[in-house]
A and B are shown apart, each in its own frame.
Chain A
Amino acid sequence: MNVKILEKPLNNSYELREVYADTLISIAKNNSKIVALEADLMGAIKMKKYLDIYPNNFINCGIMEANMVGIASGLALRGFIPFMHTFGVFATRRCFDQLFLSIGYADLNLKIIGSDAGVSAAHNGGTHMPFEDLGLMRLIPNATVIEITDWVMFQDLLKQVVNIHGIHYLRIVRKTMLQIYDEGSRFTIGEGIVLREGNDATVIATGIMIKEALEAHKMLLKEDIHISIIDLFTIKPIDQELVIKYAKKTGLIITAENHNIIGGLGSAVSKCLSESYPTKVIRIGVNERFGQVGTQDFLQKEYGLTAKDIVKAVKENL
Chain B
Amino acid sequence: MKKFSNMIRLETLKMFKNRGFGHLGGSFSIIEVLSVLYLKIMEINPENPTWSDRDYLVLSKGHAGPALYATLALKGYFNKELLLTLNDNGTSLPSHCDRLKTPGIDMTTGSLGQGISSAVGIAKALKIEGKSNFVFTIVGDGELNEGQCFEAIQFASHHQLDNLVVFVDENKIQLDGFTKDISNQRDLVKKFKAFGFHSVRVNGHDEESILKSIKIALNTKGKPSLIILDTIKGKGIEEFENIVSNHHMRFSEDDLVIINRKIAELEEVTR
Contacts and interface: CB of A to CB of B under 8 A. Distances in A.
Interface of A: 38, 40-44, 60-64, 66-67, 89-90, 94, 123-128, 292-295, 298, 302
Given A63-B145, A127-B108, A42 B91 contact: no
A63 B174 contact: yes
Given A40-B174, A124-B95, A295 B110 contact: no
B153 to A, nearest CB: 16
B111 interface: yes
Contact of A123 (B87, B142, B176, B183): B87
B111 A94 contact: yes
A82 B213 CA distance: 45
Interface of B: 21, 62, 87-91, 94-96, 98, 108-113, 142-143, 145-147, 174-177, 182-183, 247
B111 A89 contact: yes
The 4 closest A-B pairs by CB, nearest first: A127-B110, A62-B183, A62-B145, A63-B145
Tell me the interface secondary structure of chain B in the complex: loop
Contacts of A292: 90, 94
Given A40-B182, A43-B175, A126-B98, A66 B62 contact: no
A61 B87 contact: no
B89 A295 contact: yes
B66 to A, nearest CB: 12
B183 A61 contact: yes
Given A293-B87, A294-B88, 9 more contacts: A60-B182, A61-B183, A62-B183, A123-B95, A125-B98, A125-B110, A293-B88, A295-B89, A298-B89
Most B CB within 10 A of own CB, among A38, A127, A128: A127
Nearest to A125: B94
Contacts of A125: 94-96, 98, 110
Contacts of A89: 111
B147 A67 contact: yes
A41 B176 contact: yes
Contact of B146 (A63, A124, A294): A63
Given A125-B94, A128-B96, A62 B174 contact: yes
A64 B98 CA distance: 22
Most B CB within 10 A of own CB, among A124, A126, A293: A293
Contacts, number: 81
Contacts of B94: 125-126, 292-293
A205 B176 CA distance: 35
B129 to A, nearest CB: 29
Contacts of B147: 64, 66-67
Contacts of A123: 21, 87, 95
11 contacts: A40-B182, A44-B175, A60-B176, A62-B174, A94-B111, A123-B21, A126-B110, A127-B109, A293-B87, A294-B89, A295-B89
Contact of A127 (B21, B96, B145, B175): B96
A74 to B, nearest CB: 16
Contacts of B174: 40, 62-63
B89 A64 contact: no
Contacts of B87: 123, 293-294
A43 B88 CA distance: 25
Most B CB within 10 A of own CB, among A61, A63, A67, A302: A63
A69 B24 CA distance: 30
A123 B111 CA distance: 14
A12 to B, nearest CB: 22
A293 B111 contact: no
A23 to B, nearest CB: 21
Most B CB within 10 A of own CB, among A43, A125, A128, A298: A125
A7 B174 CA distance: 45
A40 B110 contact: no
B62 A40 contact: no
Contacts of B113: 63
Nearest to A297: B89
